[in-house]
Amino acid sequence: MDTLRWLTGEECLELLDQTKLPAEITYIRCSDYRDVASAIKCLAVRGAPAIGAAAAYGLVLAAYKGRPGSKEEFLARVEDAARELAATRPTAVNLSWALTRLLRKARAAITNDPEALRDIMLAEAHTIFHEDVSGNRRIGEYGQVFIPREGRVLTHCNAGALATAGYGTALGVIRAARDAGKKVSVYADETRPLLQGARLTALELLREDIPVTLITDNMAGFLMAKGMVDLVIVGADRITANGDVANKIGTYGLAVMAKAHNIPFYVAAPVSTVDLSLDSGDEIPIEERDHSEVTHHGGRLLAPAGVKVWNPAFDVTPHSLVTAIITDRGVARPPYSENLKKIILQD
């Protein structure tokens, strides 16, 4: 079950439609960058690393459109597409990071041939995809040491293979622990309002034969109080220079409860999710989504018509609540303002 796949020779991208899971496995065929933008916006593809990789291929699709023209005309066209793609989801920094990386490659290329420029951009998109898979495996290796031999892990939302190019970040740590011979079990928050934990995390873990128990979001505190959790592991959509973490709404509450119960709280994410240009989480743009995600489910109205709704897609967990940040280049511990920078800037 691939999250995304480029069809060589057909010049198109296929995206697993995660809005249909777990009931149906279908793929969206994208032959235009606007198809990718739409899929990102509606959460058919989601998870910071996955939307970064998808956006990279989307920019390649933009490079295939239009008349060849000069290099300047080519760059102007793909830059317009990049702005449109970047606007789909403002919180996840991997999106703009991947687009910037492709644009930088195209601008720096010696050739003026649009066809050659397209090939350079496609090669870079492939590199981003493969780097994400290998990086997730390194995150798993670095992180699995924190899971006890019979570890009970609580996770929120979905930070698995479905949220990445493959393998996963938070779930990658759990997979690596299982592969190391540990008897790991997982509690998965359902993750309102769109149930990514119930629909996606539970599905992934069941397919991996990793024991998983689904709970509603408001059960997590009592679960901790009963001594049924050894650690919490989540993914991230953006991490600032001081170690503040933006992740799916509800993460902050989990971190507060973990602190109150003396339970370690870990964040697993590639270095591409770290944004050293922002000093703290106060500067992270938080996406707010349509009220219907809260008032409806499966097309059915769950709340009184006309009720006011607040629907931020993410919250920010202060660095003081984070035990460690597990990246593909190693583990950062407090003080994050020093140690994250060391990891990011290492050769």
**H or E element, residue 160:** none
Confidence of residue 68 (pLDDT cuts 50, 70, 90): confident
Rounded-to-integer distance, Cα 188 and Cα 197, Å:
6
What is the distance between the alpha carbons of residues 188 and 174, in angstroms, rounded to a whole number?
12
- Domains in the chain, ordered, with CATH? 4-136 (1.20.120.420), 143-345 (3.40.50.10470)
Residue 209 pLDDT > 70: yes
Q: What is the pLDDT of residues 51-63, one digit of tens each?
A: 999 999 999 999 9
Peptide bond before residue 68 is cis, with ω within 30 degrees of 0 = no
Q: What is the mean pLDDT of the chain?
A: 96
Distances in Å between the alpha carbon of 36 and those of 47, 75, 236, 323?
14, 19, 22, 36
Per-residue pLDDT, averaged over 303-329, amounts to 98
The C-alpha atoms of residue 313 and residue 276 are separated, in whole angstroms, by 22
- Model confidence over 238-259: pLDDT tens digits? 999 999 999 999 999 999 999 9
DSSP 198: I
pLDDT surpasses 70 at 285: yes
Q: How far apart are CA 251 and CA 245, in angstroms?
A: 9
Catalytic annotation, residues: 237
pLDDT of residue 347: 59
- Quick check: 224 pLDDT over 70? yes
Nearest Cα neighbor of 316 from 261, 242, 239 is 239
The CB density around residue 243, as the number of other CB atoms within 10 Å, is 27
